[in-house]
Amino acid sequence: MRLDSKVPAGPIEQKWTQHKFEMKLVNPANRRKYTVLVVGTGLAGASAAATLGELGYNVKAFCIQDTPRRAHSIAAQGGINAAKNYQNDGDSIYRLFYDTVKGGDYRSREASVYRLAELSVDIIDQCVAQGVPFAREYGGLLDNRSFGGAQVSRTFYARGQTGQQLLLGAYSALMKEVQNGSVTLYPRREMLELVVVDGRARGIVVRNLLTGAFESHVADAVLLATGGYGNVYYLSTNAKASNATAIWRAHRKGAYFANPCFTQIHPTCIPVHGDYQSKLTLMSESLRNDGRIWVPKDPDDPRHPNEIPEEDRSYYLEETYPAFGNLVPRDVASRKAKDQCDKGRGVGSTRMAVYLDFRDAIERLGRETIEARYGNLFQMYQRIVDEDPFTQPMMIYPAVHYTMGGLWVDYNLMSNLPGLFVAGEANFSDHGANRLGASALMQGLADGYFIVPYTVADYLARVQPDRLDGAHAEFRAAENAVSDRTRRLLSIKGKRTVDEIHRELGLLAWDKIGMSRNRKGLEEALSEIPAIREEFWRNLIVAGENEDLNQSLEKAGRVADFLELAELMAFDALHREESCGGHFREEYQTPEGEAQRNDEQFAYAAAWEHQGDGQAPVLHKEELTFEVVTPTQRSYK
């Protein structure tokens, strides 16, 4: 089946404006009659819930944390892109659009990306009016920086805590609506099932994480804004509670999962140091603006990095990519670091790291400037590694960071299930096969503040608010299903903890569905993952009970879903016989070792339909047509 992306007709600059006009509106007096569930309160969820609340809909917002303000958007450091062209350096909506399509290696939907670029300017206005304390210049106007390889300075930032400040802005808007009574907050709730009635998404079942109660919530539309699935890999820069359960449960109920193999590896993370390690810490890639990446030419160079002279260092990115140097896109920077380590040139005790050196930048700009730019990152590094980046090079290594894949959505951010909307990292849109730096925040807020409120209204205007009861058979069945599953997890009483099995899955995923993939590895993954899954359901130990705060039980449910999703990722990666963006298949590379796309065969988004346990998923293609930007081989030489 070909998927209908519902992209409006007309020139790309006009599509969204025209579409906004053509969409239906809901009479203000009737809005209270419609209930919208928003699952997740990160940038996308909080901004959508707040805006829908302002418009007068009856909104219920759910989050797994104790408060919406802790959603993982908070950890984004670097900044948010917007085509304001405040720097007069040639930026424009078109350029941001172009860069995003190109950066995504031509695997994104043009019309959606153009709209994202278009909305980026409104986001900055919105956030400033909310009181987000962006960095400013002495004249009182906003400061920008260049970020992650962009050749214009379009990134707005709030020290190294841009995600935090944007999230707190969205959170404050959300709390304003909670105070106004239009949004009801349900913290410490985990969505465990989507309820579909007569082909429409009509509600969810959540587990109250304090009491273990399974609660049904009925609605006219459901919005999932539950983030990405990077924690499949166990070690990632995601928060510990970040999980795929909401989208995976929706997928099992019929929502298509698009491009699951498009995962992004972030090049500047603090290397792994021990097997007890619970997560990886990212440092903003703005570090690459001034830091120089190198490894010793001699893999066995025993000297301290400070004592290795210039001629014995290999600045491999600068050598290979003279134009972009250390600012090549994330996927390239990551893969090249892995190459170096695979060749035995890695540094540090695990030999799984490369140097990121600020010596020259400190010499050129002075310690003070470097401190002003990266002080908090240096401090973070020193705290974890116990070494001072001012006096010796940092060590970095790539880590799983973001997932471009997610539930398939059309131009209205609605999945193939009517009434099920998906926003932010949870959907597959906009970033194609690789996301540019400082674009995740932009997408989350564009979806939540400016797209979903319109498109959800359009959907609601076409359906009648009816009084479905929580006692409806589908809700009863969903409650029973989650209850059974929970009891099953508790009754295994085996020998291995959730973390142990999750770690095993993570290692496998990192090795075989990680930064670079090949047929053999993917086939192995496909045979090994079911074995781990079997081990999980046979030998898991979860202490405690359901009717209580039980963090092991929560984790167990999430890992159970990761164990299914990982298989789909491998399946997708195997089927996509090309390299593009974050998906690098070793069989498909140019003679220079660059990703070799296959536009003839794979210029589509792969949306997978679940067929039941043990059944191969069915592929649906959304063909990607490029009417404005002509796909070219990405080259950063």
Partner 1 sequence: MGKTMNLTLKVWRQKNAQSKGRLETYELQGVDADASFLEMLDILNTQLEKRGEEPVAFEHDCREGICGSCGAVVNGQAHGPMRETTLCQLHMRHFNDGDTLVIEPWRSRAFPLIKDLVVDRSAFDHVIRAGGYITMRTGSAPDAHAIPVDKEEADVAMDAAQCIGCGACVAACPNGSAMLFVASKVSHLAHLPQGRVEANRRVLNMVAQMDREGFGNCSNHYECEAACPKAISVEHIAKMNREHLRAALKPTGS
- 417-456 residues in contact with partner 1 (CB under 8 A) are 449-450, 453
Q: Minimum CB separation from partner 1 for residue 623, in Å?
A: 33
Confirm if 427 and 255 have CB atoms less than 8 A apart.
no
Residue with smaller CB distance to partner 1, 189 or 336: 189
Nearest-angstrom CA–CA distance, 63 and 210: 13
Residue type, 506: G
Q: Does 507 bind partner 1 (CB under 8 A)?
A: no
Strand partners, 350: none
Give the binding range for partner 1 (CB under 8 A) out of 68-76, 460-468, 474-482, 522-530. Answer: 68-76
Catalytic residue among 69, 330, 517, 558: 330
Helices (H), 358-516: 359-365, 367-385, 440-445, 452-462, 473-491, 498-512
Q: Please name the residues in contact with 91: beta carbons below 8 A apart, sequence gap of 6 or more.
A: 83, 84, 85, 152, 153, 154
Chain residues 74-113 in contact with partner 1, contact rule CB under 8 A: 74-75, 84, 86
Q: Applying CB under 8 A, does 391 fall inside the site for partner 1?
A: no
- Of the candidate residues 18, 92, 151, 497, the single one contacting partner 1 (CB under 8 A): 497
| Rounded CA Rg of the chain | 24
Nearer to partner 1, 323 or 543 (CB): 543
Does residue 501 interact with partner 1 by CB under 8 A?
no
Q: Pattern 202-221, binding to partner 1, x per CB under 8 A?
A: --------x-----------
Figure out which of the listed residues 21, 22, 28, 276 binds partner 1, where binding follows CB under 8 A: 276
Quick one: 10 or 131, whose CB is closer to partner 1? 131
C-alpha span between 96 and 151 (Å, rounded): 11
In the complex, the smallest distance separating the C-beta of residue 452 from partner 1, rounded to whole angstroms, is 11
Q: Rule CB under 8 A: choose which of 130, 208, 289, 539 binds partner 1.
A: 130
Residue 179 in the binding site for partner 1 (CB under 8 A): yes
Q: Which one, of 596, 255, 560, lies nearest residue 428 by Cα?
A: 255
Question: How many C-beta atoms surround the C-beta of residue 602 within 10 A?
Answer: 22
585 is an active site residue: no
Backbone angles phi, psi at 267, to 5 degrees: -75, -25
Main-chain phi, psi angles of 72, to 5 degrees: -70, -10
CB of 131 to partner 1, least distance (A): 5
Unique residue bearing structure tokens 């498109």 = 455
Binding to partner 1 by residue 383, rule CB under 8 A? yes
Contact residue for partner 1 among 172, 208, 392, 589 (CB under 8 A): 172
Would you state the structure tokens that stand for residue 382, as one six-digit string? 């020193």
Here the tokens at position 511 are 């090795």
Q: Which among 479, 556, 564 has a CA at the least distance from the CA of 194?
A: 479
552 contacts partner 1 (rule: CB under 8 A): yes
- Choose which of 548, 577, 587, 623 interacts with partner 1 (CB under 8 A): 548
If binding is defined by CB under 8 A, does position 256 make contact with partner 1? Answer: no
Residues within window 141-170 making contact with partner 1, judged by CB under 8 A: 141-142, 158-159, 161, 164-165, 168
Binding of partner 1 by 591 (CB under 8 A)? no
Task: Rule CB under 8 A: say whether 310 interacts with partner 1.
Answer: no
State the residue for tokens 């304001």: 84
Cβ(547)–Cβ(475) under 8 Å?
Answer: no
- Residue 351 engages partner 1 in binding (rule: CB under 8 A): no
Structural contact between residues 345 and 339, judged by C-beta atoms closer than 8 angstroms: no
Which of 384, 463, 531, 618 is in the footprint of partner 1 by CB under 8 A?
A: 384
Tell me which residues are annotated as active site.
330
